[in-house]
Amino acid sequence: MSKEQQEILGLKTGEGGIIISKLDDLLNWARLSSLWPVGFGLACCAIEFMSTASSAYDLDRFGVIPRNSPRQADVMIVSGTVTFKMADRVIRLYEQMADPKYVISMGSCANCGGPYWEHGYHVLKGVDRVIPVDVYVPGCPPRPEALIGGFLKLQEKIRTESVLAPKALEKLMKKDVV
């Protein structure tokens, strides 16, 4: 076990093989170490996504394995141009994913319409108009390193999450009681 993992998981007591950690940390660690994306590509950006998964860049080492079903996926990489026709399908795929789910918008097209922002009557000007986006990866197309950077950013985000914190209650408490 690496030093970093030890830190995440808290102290290792040694003999008994017991690890003590916060449940939140354990859950987050499990989640961020196995980010499985839905494997689909929309345009030129998908080529870079594919090469990121190739042996040269080895996305596998971050626990990122493309899945063929949204039901088994944790993260959706919108890699490329989202046309209006496709947008309906992207929404459908997103809705089929089980919570917790994340979205990485890869490339200028998915971020804001890219080269089609002005004359692309058929292009959705940013996938965040239809589904919530967690990480934007800029570039046309972004290099594989940039996509990996996006995954690292997403991991950072997940690391600070808490499923157990009573957020709804906190929100309620903050409201002025009439």
- Give the footprint of ligand SF4 on this chain (CB under 6 A): 43-45, 80-81, 107-109, 114-115, 140-141
Q: Quick one: 77 or 86, whose CB is closer to another protein?
A: 86
Query: Mask 128-157, x = binds another protein (CB under 8 A)?
Result: -xx---------------------------
* Angle CA 158–162–168, to nearest 5: 130
Residue 105 forms beta bridges with which residues?
78, 136
Q: Using CB under 8 A, which of 3, 85, 171, 175 touches another protein?
A: 85
CB 9 within 8 A of CB 28: no
Position 117 contacts another protein (CB under 8 A): yes
Q: In whole angstroms, give the CA distance from residue 126 to residue 75.
A: 18
Q: Quick one: 32 or 110, whose CB is closer to ligand SF4?
A: 110
Closest CA to 145 of 9, 37, 51: 51
Instruction: Please name the amino acid found at residue 21.
Output: S
Q: Choose among ligand SF4, another protein, none what residue 130 binds, the Cβ cut-off being 5 to 8 Å by kind.
A: another protein
Position 89 contacts another protein (CB under 8 A): no
Interhelix angle 23-32/144-159, rounded to 10 degrees, is: 170
Q: Can you read off the two tokens belonging to residue 21? A: 């950690």
Number of chain residues interacting with another protein (CB under 8 A):
14
Q: In whole angstroms, give the CA distance from residue 125 to residue 161.
A: 29
Position 103 contacts another protein (CB under 8 A): no
Position 124 contacts another protein (CB under 8 A): yes
Q: Choose among ligand SF4, another protein, none what residue 100 binds, the Cβ cut-off being 5 to 8 Å by kind.
A: none
CB 52 within 8 A of CB 149: no
Q: Which residues bind another protein (CB under 8 A)?
A: 84-85, 87-88, 112-113, 117-118, 121-122, 124-125, 129-130
